[in-house]
Amino acid sequence: MNIKTRLTLMNFFQFFIWGSWLLTIGAYWFQTKHWSGTEFGAIFSTMGIASLFMPAIAGIIADRWLNAEKLYGIFHLCAAVILFMVPRVNDPSTMFWIMLVNMIFYMPTIALSITVGYSTLKSKGLDIVTEYPPIRVWGTIGFVVALWVISLLHLEVTAGQFYVASGASLFLGIYAFTLPKCPPLGKTQNDSWVSAMGLDAFKLFKNVRMAVFFIFAMLLGAALQLTNAYGDTFLHDFANITQFKDTIAVKYPAIIMSISQISETLFILTIPFFLRRFGIKRVMLFSMFAWVLRFGLFAFGNPAEGLWMIVASCIIYGMAFDFFNISGSLYVESQSEPGIRASAQGLFMVMTNGFGAFLGSRISGILIDKYFTVGETKDWHNIWLVFAGYALVLAIVFPILFKHKHERIKST
């Protein structure tokens, strides 16, 4: 099995695990356990809480003390045990803590998988901008496959989804120890206290351009969380309207939302072209305007005659997500010294899936409850318009503050 195939398999199962429960845990929570919406909101915050510190800590460990692929495997083995315990939880408070521990082990593996991929490709003399996106696309395919498996096997409202995720995590944890060695590259650096604590990646903030990049990555991370938290719920709420309750989108909302991930697989493959032709500044700007369209189309769409808007929104999501998440990680890699490669990817995760996810879920929840909810009915039209306005403000301000001049690579 060649190295690209091995990394492809790693990416497939990395996101198959997440896809097994991320979009369907809500159905299990409400339909089977009958727990409250307020308590469910806390479950999504566990991703942000864990990402505030774990990717950075994992990056420090991988840069200075332990091979990245070994740490990656250990985390997945631990997560497999926690996921296996989820069906045994019988109260929402315990569920919060169990899912938080699960996220503490899972979230840093996203950045570690990137570190393993980049390190391995570089060791083989391969260009990561060209070679990594076609490998990473299989992660999204894994997410979609998991989502369809759970949906078609009717596991959306059962504990079976967590057993599937646990089994996949166990396999990946064992498989990780067979991956190429990615030894720490930062342990030979100077003995300053900053290096000793593994905090060198935070020096990137001393560069104004990088500081601005990380701040906007955080703000875009908040936009992503809005989609994860409310997209599926948005479609489910149409079941309360007689004219929409029997439509395909309402009956199979998870499958409709999976169009977003299918779109990712296509846009990931375009990243090398867009980065080389337009540079990170314009690619990030494309992402921001894509978020405007993503939310705006949701605002005016419905599962009947407006279904095309919902489908179009899901297609546009591929550009919105990939052009800041995947392109952003490539940019961070290009701006980081080898000795802080894992820490830098961990820092990127902290800003997007940590601060961004936490602030996005918390602030949006407060705003929705206070201004856009009457009884149990949510004003989805204006909710999505506010989100679209948020993305539009980012798109206007970003090119003014982010000073980066791209030198276009001419084809030979």
Q: Residues 160, 163, 168, 174: what is their CA dihedral angle, to the nearest 10 degrees?
A: -170
CA distance 360 to 224: 8
Mean pLDDT of 203-216: 83
User: Could you tell me which residue, 171 or 55, shows the higher pLDDT?
Assistant: 171
Which pLDDT value is given to residue 38?
A: 65
Confidence class for position 197, pLDDT limits 50, 70, 90: very low
CA distance 339 to 189: 8
Which pLDDT value is given to residue 237?
A: 81
Which CATH number belongs to the domain containing residue 319 in this structure? 1.20.1250.20
Closest CA to 328 of 350, 313, 296: 350
CA distance 101 to 86: 11
- 412 within a domain of the structure (yes/no): no
Closest CA to 271 of 140, 399, 116, 106: 140
Confidence class for position 198, pLDDT limits 50, 70, 90: very low
Token pair in block for residue 138: 């299989």
Confidence class for position 37, pLDDT limits 50, 70, 90: low
Q: Supply the pTM of this predicted model.
A: 0.73
- 32 within a domain of the structure (yes/no): yes
Give the list of residues 6+ apart from residue 140 with CB closer than 8 angstroms, or none: 15, 261, 262, 264, 265, 268
pLDDT above 60: residue 303: yes
CB-CB neighbours of 289 under 10 Å: 17
Assess contact for 144 and 19: CB atoms under 8 A.
yes
Mean pLDDT of 120-148: 87
- 407 within a domain of the structure (yes/no): no
User: Which helix H or strand E contains 373, and what residues bound it?
Assistant: strand 373-374
Bridge partners (DSSP) listed for residue 282: none
Confidence class for position 407, pLDDT limits 50, 70, 90: low
Can you give the residue range of the structural domain that contains 269?
A: 3-184+192-401
pLDDT above 50: residue 410: no
Query: Residues of the chain with pLDDT > 90: what percent?
Result: 34
CA distance 36 to 29: 8
Closest CA to 134 of 49, 12, 254: 12
CA distance 54 to 279: 30
Which of 33-37, 312-316, 322-326: highest mean pLDDT? 312-316
The total number of structural domains in the chain stands at 1
For helices 208-236 and 341-349, angle between their N-to-C axes, nearest 10 degrees: 50
pLDDT in tens, 234-280: 887 888 888 898 888 887 777 888 898 889 888 888 888 888 888 88
Residue identified by tokens 């306005």 is 389
Which pLDDT value is given to residue 342?
A: 65
User: Which helix H or strand E contains 43, and what residues bound it?
Assistant: helix 37-51
Assess contact for 218 and 353: CB atoms under 8 A.
no
- 380 within a domain of the structure (yes/no): yes
Neighbour-count burial of 268, counting CB atoms closer than 10 A to its CB (0-12 exposed, 13-18 middle, 19+ buried)? buried
Assess contact for 56 and 107: CB atoms under 8 A.
no
User: Angle at CA 8, nearest 5°, toward 4 and 10?
Assistant: 120
- 381 within a domain of the structure (yes/no): yes
Q: Residues 289, 291, 294, 300: what is their CA dihedral angle, to the nearest 10 degrees?
A: -80
Confidence class for position 194, pLDDT limits 50, 70, 90: very low
Residue identified by tokens 């078609």 is 152
- 136 within a domain of the structure (yes/no): yes
